[in-house]
């Protein structure tokens, strides 16, 4: 029977196999069996002593006990059991190290978090295979109840490799177990001057391991940790040095360069740390070279950025001392031969758009750090499902910067997490001061950034401030267009410098066209700097004009061969487009704001930003003074289109009627044609539809587009004409129109339009009860719809596949597919198109009528929990199964993954 997770004061037992990596490499076959047996034995022992195993990582076990005596008895029994086991000869005795420590911890979702866990992990790392170590607190709890022939040996005071306060460590000794081991792997085992840290390092396990791997590589002797101030470069370097302290014969040595102001002061600073006396007229550098000679040691040179001109010194020392290795922290690279950069990124962050519990959130380093530091000030603080999203948002707003999170946690003495979050609109003021014993540059967030800003020259400072005009990042082209005026530095060179100094970041995955961004904290600082200059208004105008041109160009590009490129580009630039719209519609140039709003209509529709698009359109529509009438008509077409997609048909009708009136007054046939075809589309949702008038207006619009040879308008008009015919039951005529559209759309590269024709043809096949044709178009459309981001057709084809599945008694899968489609509609707030409402509703009802209601609800709920991709996988599996069933009747559902001109 599994014990429940202990709470309150808990004794933890951690174990792992010494040298397991080497054993796996040497004897992989035997180790597979050995590990299974090892796991079985430890599970039996730990559960037999009422232990709760809450985690296993590789061959490591993490177990919690309600009492220290139980933990001790389990460790003793485990070592005895492992010692008696007849392990394979090629493995020999299996040496497992163990550690016991007692304290409180936060339990969430069956896992534990907090300083007690960090401490026992370090205690375990100090031991050797076959050894059981106890912290002083655990030793005090078990000393009076030890079994016969069992004792505790005081191993003395040791500093563990978490760099916090040391403690007295005890070893469990029994007559039938080994008692002699090498010295503990603690900071006392080797020479070092690593400073004591007030708190333990949270997270960063991957980074520590990767940096250690670099330093263990014989070809790597100089590693530079780069990153903006506050990312924790120093703490990370200290942890790496601590964990490698026993790997360097002559120790690891930390040199703080922050007090050094001139390059010539670096060599004396290193010599002082190493205790080297200067010799007469000999330069500090020469004395240092002679001392290092053949010594094997690690130098940690912290804050190198302010003496960057001393970078050649590092290279010269490495050349003079073949066993020397150097670990540097700096806000910019040294740029010397043999240097390896390791970029230190902020702590891991939760995705605010995803659901998560308190336990799941604690697995993100930023949240774990915030919670641990808050609990240092408020022991009653508990992360739970009520406050977890507020805490997660605080961490995200602070970019996962450790310094910012620590400062924020300190403010919880005064503010609740919600009150703190409310104040983060001005991060630089809200977070106050840090500890008095911290370096001056780390006492406030502003001081941290000042330190980096002061390293810039005049032109770099100007570029840095100007770049704050961008929102959500920028491309190189945008930076050159917006920021170059009167700048005495090349924008590319300036960006490279800011990138090297960690004030700007290159966006991951932007290799083809470089894209850059700033952490929000840095962006706020740069924006304040811009406002202090006299350039703010001009920069906002240049920024808005650049993105106005981009949006206007996109209107046509989204209907042609480059539609995916432009859709992705607008996705990237959406924050900048928002900023431009705000600038214009706020009064800077309302005419341009209206034109940009209208130009973005296809983007809002294609990216399923219907609700946000609706808000911008409403804002623009409320402004009437000083707007050219054609621009107003175009905006009303946009408003009507969005209202149609949002099933607000009365509102759509009013907008289209206004657009038609303006276009007629302006004698603009193309504008009038657009207004007419969309008026006809909105007709489907009216209480008293005028079908003949809709057909007439659509035919008139088609004729205009055909006369001026405007294929985007022609294919759209024909599409709506086909919908009108289909709604009247004229399936053959509608099908002919849909098939005619496909080659037209292919000619101009409007692949989205082609995919919609496949959906239309599928709906006709449904009306005719032609399952093979429905599956043909579903198989064809799924990969294309995903590739071209036409997710609404994915949802439709999920439903159409579901109804075919139901026809062939595959009801459970059918209900799941319906659930997945419904979840997509709900998540995106997209409405089923008016032309498909009746058909989709009928499909759903067919499936529901054929199933028991409880079964339907269960499977429907399962489908709702699926991702869209998982739902498509299920649908494609169903198509294969249904295809086999139909093939038995001599019917094929095979299709191409390309764009055939007709099905």
Q: What is residue 537's predicted lDDT score, i.e. its pLDDT?
A: 95
* DSSP state at residue 61: E
Q: What is residue 122's predicted lDDT score, i.e. its pLDDT?
A: 92
Angle at 197 between CA 192 and CA 200, to 5 degrees: 115
86-95, 159-168, 240-249, 463-472 — most confident range: 463-472
Structural contact between residues 356 and 350, judged by C-beta atoms closer than 8 angstroms? yes
* Backbone φ, ψ for residue 172 (5° rounding): -80, 130
* Backbone φ, ψ for residue 375 (5° rounding): -65, -20
Name the CA dihedral angle for 872, 875, 880, 884, rounded to a multiple of 10 degrees: -170
Question: Is residue 183 predicted with pLDDT exceeding 80?
Answer: yes
Q: What is residue 110's predicted lDDT score, i.e. its pLDDT?
A: 86
What mean pLDDT comes out for the span 154-178? 90
Question: Is residue 483 predicted with pLDDT exceeding 60?
Answer: yes
Q: Where are the beta strands (DSSP E) in 807-848?
A: none
Residue 187's pLDDT band, with cuts at 50, 70 and 90, is confident
The full set of domain ranges for the chain reads: 9-185, 205-343, 358-446, 548-741, 769-887
Structural contact between residues 134 and 169, judged by C-beta atoms closer than 8 angstroms? yes
Tokens of 44: 């039996």
Q: What is the mean pLDDT of the chain?
A: 91
Domain 548-741 has CATH 1.25.40.10: yes
Q: What is residue 723's predicted lDDT score, i.e. its pLDDT?
A: 93
Query: 648-687, pLDDT tens digit by residue?
Result: 999 999 999 999 999 999 999 999 999 999 999 888 776 6
Q: What is residue 463's predicted lDDT score, i.e. its pLDDT?
A: 97
The CA-based diameter of the chain, rounded to the nearest angstrom, is 105
Q: What is residue 1's predicted lDDT score, i.e. its pLDDT?
A: 53
Question: Is residue 776 predicted with pLDDT exceeding 80?
Answer: yes
Q: What is residue 902's predicted lDDT score, i.e. its pLDDT?
A: 44
Q: What is residue 22's predicted lDDT score, i.e. its pLDDT?
A: 84
Domain 9-185 has CATH 3.40.640.10: no
What mean pLDDT comes out for the span 27-51? 92
Tell me how far CA of residue 138 lies from CA of 128, 130, 134, 159, 165, in angstroms.
19, 19, 6, 17, 17
Q: What is residue 890's predicted lDDT score, i.e. its pLDDT?
A: 55
Residue 2's pLDDT band, with cuts at 50, 70 and 90, is low
The proportion of the chain whose per-residue pLDDT surpasses 90, expressed as a percent, equals 73
- 22-31, 527-536, 551-560, 562-571: least confidently modelled range: 22-31
Structural contact between residues 248 and 298, judged by C-beta atoms closer than 8 angstroms? yes
d(CA 315, CA 308): 13
d(CA 821, CA 488): 55
Residue 226's nearest CA partner among 343, 325, 370, 399 is 343
Q: What is residue 893's predicted lDDT score, i.e. its pLDDT?
A: 56
Name the CA dihedral angle for 15, 18, 19, 25, rounded to a multiple of 10 degrees: -40
Query: 713-749, pLDDT tens digit by residue?
Result: 999 999 999 999 999 999 999 999 999 999 999 999 9
Residue 395's nearest CA partner among 376, 378, 374 is 374
Residue 613's pLDDT band, with cuts at 50, 70 and 90, is very high
d(CA 727, CA 680): 12
Q: What is residue 436's predicted lDDT score, i.e. its pLDDT?
A: 52
Give how far the C-alpha of residue 189 lies from the chain's centroid of Cα atoms, to the nearest Å.
40
What mean pLDDT comes out for the span 149-157? 93
Domain 205-343 has CATH 3.60.15.10: no
Same fold yes or no, 9-185 and 548-741 = no
As a residue count, the chain comes to 903
Residue 806's nearest CA partner among 861, 743, 849 is 849
The proportion of the chain whose per-residue pLDDT surpasses 70, expressed as a percent, equals 95
Question: Is residue 892 predicted with pLDDT exceeding 70?
Answer: no
Tokens of 565: 């490129």
Question: Is residue 689 predicted with pLDDT exceeding 90?
Answer: no
d(CA 471, CA 523): 9
- 21-35, 461-475, 582-596: least confidently modelled range: 21-35
Q: What is residue 200's predicted lDDT score, i.e. its pLDDT?
A: 84
Strand 111-113 and strand 106-108: the pairing is antiparallel
Residue 396's pLDDT band, with cuts at 50, 70 and 90, is very high
What mean pLDDT comes out for the span 485-497? 92
Residue 778's nearest CA partner among 843, 859, 713, 837 is 843
Phi-psi region of 271 (alpha: psi -120 to 50; beta: other; left: phi over 0): alpha
Residue 24's pLDDT band, with cuts at 50, 70 and 90, is confident
Q: What is residue 411's predicted lDDT score, i.e. its pLDDT?
A: 86
Q: What is residue 517's predicted lDDT score, i.e. its pLDDT?
A: 94
Q: What is residue 343's predicted lDDT score, i.e. its pLDDT?
A: 93
Query: 539-592, pLDDT tens digit by residue?
Result: 999 999 999 999 999 999 999 999 999 999 999 999 999 999 999 999 999 999
* DSSP state at residue 93: S
Q: CB within 8 A of 65, min separation 6: which ones?
A: 6, 10, 11, 12, 13, 49, 50, 51, 52, 71, 74
Residue 225's nearest CA partner among 327, 90, 335 is 327
What mean pLDDT comes out for the span 790-802? 94
DSSP reduced 3-state for 536: helix
**Strand order across the 9-17 sheet:** 52-57, 60-65, 9-17, 96-104, 132-134, 167-174, 150-158
Structural contact between residues 269 and 210, judged by C-beta atoms closer than 8 angstroms? no
Query: 315-335, pLDDT tens digit by residue?
Result: 999 999 999 999 999 999 999
């Amino acid at each position: 029977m599994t014990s429940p997770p202990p709470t309150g004061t808990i004794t933890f037992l951690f174990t792992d196999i010494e040298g397991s990596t080497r054993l796996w490499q040497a004897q992989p076959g035997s180790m597979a069996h050995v590990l299974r047996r090892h796991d079985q034995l430890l599970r039996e022992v730990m559960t037999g002593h009422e232990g709760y195993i809450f985690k296993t990582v590789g061959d490591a076990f993490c177990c919690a006990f309600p009492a220290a005596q139980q933990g001790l008895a389990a460790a003793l029994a485990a070592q005895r059991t492992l010692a008696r086991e007849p392990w394979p000869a090629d493995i020999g005795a299996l040496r497992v190290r163990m550690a016991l420590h007692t304290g409180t911890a936060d339990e969430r979702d069956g896992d534990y978090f907090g300083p007690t866990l960090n401490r026992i992990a370090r205690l375990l790392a100090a031991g050797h295979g076959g050894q059981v170590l106890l912290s002083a607190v655990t030793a005090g709890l078990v000393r009076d109840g030890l079994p016969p022939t069992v004792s505790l040996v005081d191993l003395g005071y040791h500093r563990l490799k978490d760099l916090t306060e040391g403690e007295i460590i005890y070893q469990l000794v029994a007559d039938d177990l080994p008692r002699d081991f090498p010295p503990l792997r603690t900071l006392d085992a080797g020479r070092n001057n690593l400073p004591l840290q007030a708190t333990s390092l949270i997270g960063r396990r991957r980074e520590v391991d990767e940096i250690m791997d670099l330093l263990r590589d014989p070809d790597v002797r100089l590693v530079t940790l780069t990153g903006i101030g506050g990312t924790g470069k120093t703490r990370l370097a200290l942890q790496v040095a601590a964990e490698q302290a026993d790997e360097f014969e002559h120790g690891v040595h930390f040199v703080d360069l922050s007090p050094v102001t001139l390059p010539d002061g670096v060599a004396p600073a290193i010599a002082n740390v190493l205790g080297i006396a200067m010799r007469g007229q000999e330069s500090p550098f020469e004395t240092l070279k002679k001392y290092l000679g053949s010594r094997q040691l690690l130098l940690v040179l912290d804050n190198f950025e302010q003496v960057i001109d001393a970078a050649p010194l590092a290279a010269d020392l490495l050349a003079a001392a073949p066993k020397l290795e150097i670990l540097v922290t700096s806000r910019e690279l040294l740029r010397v031969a043999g240097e390896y950069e390791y970029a230190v990124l902020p702590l891991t962050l939760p995705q605010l758009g995803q659901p998560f519990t308190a336990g799941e959130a604690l697995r993100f380093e930023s949240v774990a750090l915030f919670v641990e530091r808050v609990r240092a000030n408020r022991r009653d603080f508990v992360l739970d499902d009520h406050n977890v999203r507020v805490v997660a948002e605080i961490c995200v707003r602070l970019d996962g910067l450790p310094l910012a999170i620590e400062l924020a946690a300190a403010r919880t003495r005064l503010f609740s997490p919600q009150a703190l979050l409310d104040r983060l609109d001005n991060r630089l003021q809200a977070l106050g001061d840090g500890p008095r014993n911290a370096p001056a540059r780390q006492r406030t967030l502003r001081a941290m950034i000042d330190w980096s800003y002061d390293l810039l020259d005049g032109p770099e400072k100007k570029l840095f401030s100007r770049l704050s005009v961008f929102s959500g990042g920028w491309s190189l082209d945008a930076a050159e267009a917006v920021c170059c005026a009167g700048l005495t530095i090349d924008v590319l060179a300036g960006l490279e410098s800011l990138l090297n100094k960690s004030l700007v970041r290159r966006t991951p995955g932007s290799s083809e066209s470089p894209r850059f961004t700033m952490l929000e904290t840095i962006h706020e600082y740069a924006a304040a700097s811009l406002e202090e200059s006299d350039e703010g208004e001009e920069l906002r105008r240049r920024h808005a004009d650049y993105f106005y041109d981009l949006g206007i160009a996109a209107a046509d590009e989204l209907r042609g061969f480059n539609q995916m490129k432009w859709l992705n580009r607008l996705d990237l630039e959406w924050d900048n487009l928002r900023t431009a719209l705000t600038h214009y519609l706020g009064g800077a140039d309302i005419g341009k704001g209206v034109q940009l709003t209208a130009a973005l209509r296809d983007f809002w529709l294609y990216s399923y930003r219907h609700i946000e698009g609706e808000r911008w359109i409403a804002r623009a529509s409320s402004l009437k003074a000083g707007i050219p009438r054609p621009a107003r008509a175009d905006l009303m077409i946009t408003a009507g289109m969005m209202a149609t997609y949002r099933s607000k048909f009365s509102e759509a009708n009013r907008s289209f009627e206004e657009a038609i009136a303006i276009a007629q007054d302006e004698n603009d046939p193309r504008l009038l044609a657009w207004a007419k075809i969309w008026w006809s589309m909105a007709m489907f949702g009216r209480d008293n539809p005028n079908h003949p008038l809709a057909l007439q207006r659509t035919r008139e619009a088609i004729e205009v587009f055909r006369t001026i040879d405007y294929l985007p308008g022609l294919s759209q008009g024909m599409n709506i004409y086909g919908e009108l015919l289909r709604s009247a039951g004229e399936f053959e005529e509608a099908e002919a129109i849909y098939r005619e559209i496909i080659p037209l759309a292919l000619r101009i590269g409007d692949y989205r339009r082609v995919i919609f024709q496949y959906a239309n043809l599928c709906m006709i096949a449904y009306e005719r009860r032609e399952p093979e044709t429905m599956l043909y178009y579903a198989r064809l459309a799924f990969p294309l719809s995903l590739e071209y981001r036409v997710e609404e057709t994915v949802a439709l084809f999920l439903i159409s596949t579901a109804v075919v599945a139901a026809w062939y008694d595959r009801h459970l899968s059918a209900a799941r597919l319906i659930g997945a489609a419904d979840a997509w509609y709900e998540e995106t707030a997209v409405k089923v198109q008016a032309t498909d409402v009746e058909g989709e509703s009928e499909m759903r009802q067919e499936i529901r009528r054929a199933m028991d209601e409880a079964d339907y609800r269960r499977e429907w709920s399962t489908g709702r929990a699926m991702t869209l991709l998982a739902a498509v996988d299920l649908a494609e599996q169903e198509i294969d199964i249904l295809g086999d069933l139909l093939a038995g009747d001599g019917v094929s559902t095979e299709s191409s993954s390309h764009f055939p001109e007709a099905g």
